[in-house]
Amino acid sequence: MEVCYQLPVLPLDRPVPKHVLSRRGAISFSSSSSLFGAPDPRQLSQRRGAISYDSSDQTALYIRMLGDVRVRSQVGFEPERRSSHQYLCIDFRTLHARLGCGTAEGGSAPERRVHRLLSFQRYLHSSRLLRGLPQQIPLHILDEDYTGQARCMLEKVGNWNFDIFLFNKLTNGNSLINLTFHLLNQYGLIELFQLDMVKLWRFLVMVQEDYHNDNPYHNAVHAADVTQAMYCFLQEPMLSKSLTSCDILLGLLAAATHDLDHPGVNQPFLIKTNHYLATLYRNTSVLENHHWKSAVGLLRETGLFSHLPPEDSRNMEADLGSLILATDISRQNDYLSRFRRHLDQDDLCLSNASHRHFVLQMALKCADICNPCRPWELSKQWSEKVTEEFFQQGDIEKKHKLEISPVCDRASNTVGNIQIGFMTYVAEPLFVEWARFSDTRLSQTMLGHMGLNKASWGSLQQEQSSAGEETRPGAANVDDTAARRDGTGHVATGGNGSKEIPQGSRGC
């Protein structure tokens, strides 16, 4: 009842609702501005043009230089490519020196130049909108009924069985924008941090667009799912009574951006194909560093925190990085051991800022790999999506005669075996400790779902083999493989691609 705005569950090409904009009197808004993903090219050009190469803002510069990572098979879209890469087609926002040249208005040349400033993802999106074409979702989805249902769903956003797939349909594919906006507003963080509504909305649109829709798993819906899970954890008594508003803001932003611009392949793949990101980050937390830097680039590009004192803004960026880097599953054992130690010694003191930050890191890690803890109907969908992403990587590896990464070979793996291995060696050890820390109904529910899901995958496996299907070579060893695979990671459901399965298991 006290809600003073209407949730803007709108397609991206609709005008900004006045009630959203009028909430903050301070917003200066030009009617020609477009916030919804199809920015006026001239504005866009100005916006990006505002960051100069002489800028001391190295992160924004980095983003301009590198653009987004785009990995595709050789078939299909063939946008701008970096020809030096042998295996992948990568498009870039080519934000190079051309930017400084020629600013002639009108004609096709400037228009083409503007397209080159966009990430491929954004280009596709904006060109689709400019041509007036609907997205993949049919137009009837835009009916008021649907937006009304989406609003109804948000009233239960704290439920563990929240169906993010349905919410994504009801919001016309804009689940990440709408969910994150709703949560920030619900917590009163927009007013508290004096966030400019225009900048915030633009930031969220850009975040969503910089996820790759064509990744089966690492896309904006996964980010929305992780954000919703993070919200559930933030509501847990241990956290809700001790976290500050700043912690909550960081936790939600980290969840929303934690896989930003994920290319759909894992770190070992980037390393073995000499991808420039692997070189840039010296083969260490390559993807996570890129997600973080991409998020910081968007924060600076939109100026979301530009009104804050520079030191606060930089601290926020650093903390955001620390949270996102914690999702590197190859470091899972470090975090888990430290968590266990604290729990054994009962010395977590949540009035201590560094302890709160550590708990936030653990919460984000749990949110990131919580798929096995969801109800079966949701969990199963995630399992199939993440496995398909592994298999697509395996297909590329096979095509280019590279060694096929563990669990990426569709000929010798099954969804069920990968899932059972992931739950046993990665998810269970983490959630068992989380339940020690936060011994609540939610924690028990999550463990309960995981047990049931594991049993269901086991039954399915048995059914398949008793149906006469020949056991595939190596399938019986998948658990073991999953547990000991190289840093390739991203093993199962949890979906942290690029991630190494820890050597430890729950009993250790």
Q: Is 259 in the site for Zn ion (CB under 5 A)?
A: yes
Looking at the Cβ atoms of 236 and 368, the one nearer to Zn ion is 368
Of 73-81, 133-141, 278-286, 364-372, the segment contacting Zn ion by CB under 5 A is 364-372
Q: How far is CA 144 from CA 10, 21, 165, in A?
A: 10, 20, 19
Nearest distance, CB of residue 366 and Zn ion, angstroms: 12
User: At residue 89, what are phi and psi to the nearest 5 degrees?
Assistant: -95, 120
Looking at the Cβ atoms of 368 and 433, the one nearer to Zn ion is 368
Q: CA-to-CA distance for 26 and 47, rounded, in angstroms?
A: 20
Looking at the Cβ atoms of 221 and 482, the one nearer to Zn ion is 221
Relative orientation angle of helices 220-234 and 175-186, to the nearest 10 degrees: 20
Of 158-166, 305-313, 365-373, 457-465, the segment contacting Zn ion by CB under 5 A is 365-373
- Measured from the Cβ of residue 240, the count of other Cβ atoms closer than 10 Å reads 11
Q: CA-to-CA distance for 446 and 440, rounded, in angstroms?
A: 10
Of 19-27, 30-38, 123-131, 256-264, the segment contacting Zn ion by CB under 5 A is 256-264
Q: CA-to-CA distance for 292 and 62, rounded, in angstroms?
A: 12
Place of tokens 């559930």: 232
Looking at the Cβ atoms of 389 and 409, the one nearer to Zn ion is 389
219 is in an annotated binding site: yes
214 is in an annotated binding site: no
Q: Is 389 in the site for Zn ion (CB under 5 A)?
A: no
Nearest distance, CB of residue 379 and Zn ion, angstroms: 15
Q: CA-to-CA distance for 234 and 251, rounded, in angstroms?
A: 8
Nearest distance, CB of residue 239 and Zn ion, angstroms: 20
476 is in an annotated binding site: no
400 counts as catalytic: no
258 is in an annotated binding site: yes
Of 61-69, 361-369, 389-397, 409-417, the segment contacting Zn ion by CB under 5 A is 361-369
Nearest distance, CB of residue 258 and Zn ion, angstroms: 6
Looking at the Cβ atoms of 126 and 175, the one nearer to Zn ion is 175
Are 45 and 63 in contact by the 8 Å Cβ rule? The answer is no
Closest CA to 93 of 57, 131, 62, 135: 62
Catalytic hit among 125, 182, 212, 218:
218
Nearest distance, CB of residue 436 and Zn ion, angstroms: 24
Q: CA-to-CA distance for 313 and 305, rounded, in angstroms?
A: 6
262 is in an annotated binding site: no
Are 238 and 437 in contact by the 8 Å Cβ rule? The answer is yes
Max Cα distance, the chain (Å): 70
Q: CA-to-CA distance for 490 and 498, rounded, in angstroms?
A: 5
Q: CA-to-CA distance for 189 and 246, rounded, in angstroms?
A: 9
Looking at the Cβ atoms of 421 and 494, the one nearer to Zn ion is 494
Indicate the helix (H) or strand (E) that contains 115. helix 108-117
Query: Binding-site residue total for Zn ion (CB under 5 A)?
Result: 2
Nearest distance, CB of residue 164 and Zn ion, angstroms: 13
Q: Is 368 in the site for Zn ion (CB under 5 A)?
A: yes
Nearest distance, CB of residue 262 and Zn ion, angstroms: 8
Of 152-160, 202-210, 362-370, 435-443, the segment contacting Zn ion by CB under 5 A is 362-370
Q: CA-to-CA distance for 143 and 9, rounded, in angstroms?
A: 11
Looking at the Cβ atoms of 317 and 368, the one nearer to Zn ion is 368
221 is in an annotated binding site: yes
Length of the chain counted residue by residue? 508
259 is in an annotated binding site: yes
- Measured from the Cβ of residue 377, the count of other Cβ atoms closer than 10 Å reads 10
Q: Is 209 in the site for Zn ion (CB under 5 A)?
A: no
Q: Is 410 exposed, middle or buried (0-12, 13-18, 19+ CB in 10 A)?
A: middle
* Residue numbering of the annotated binding site for AMP: 218-222, 259, 368, 419
* Residue numbering of the annotated binding site for Zn(2+): 222, 258-259, 368
Query: Would you please indicate which residues are annotated as catalytic (active-site) residues?
Result: 218
Kindly list the residues in this chain that would bind Zn ion in the complex (CB under 5 A): 259, 368
* Residue numbering of the annotated binding site: 218-222, 258-259, 368, 419
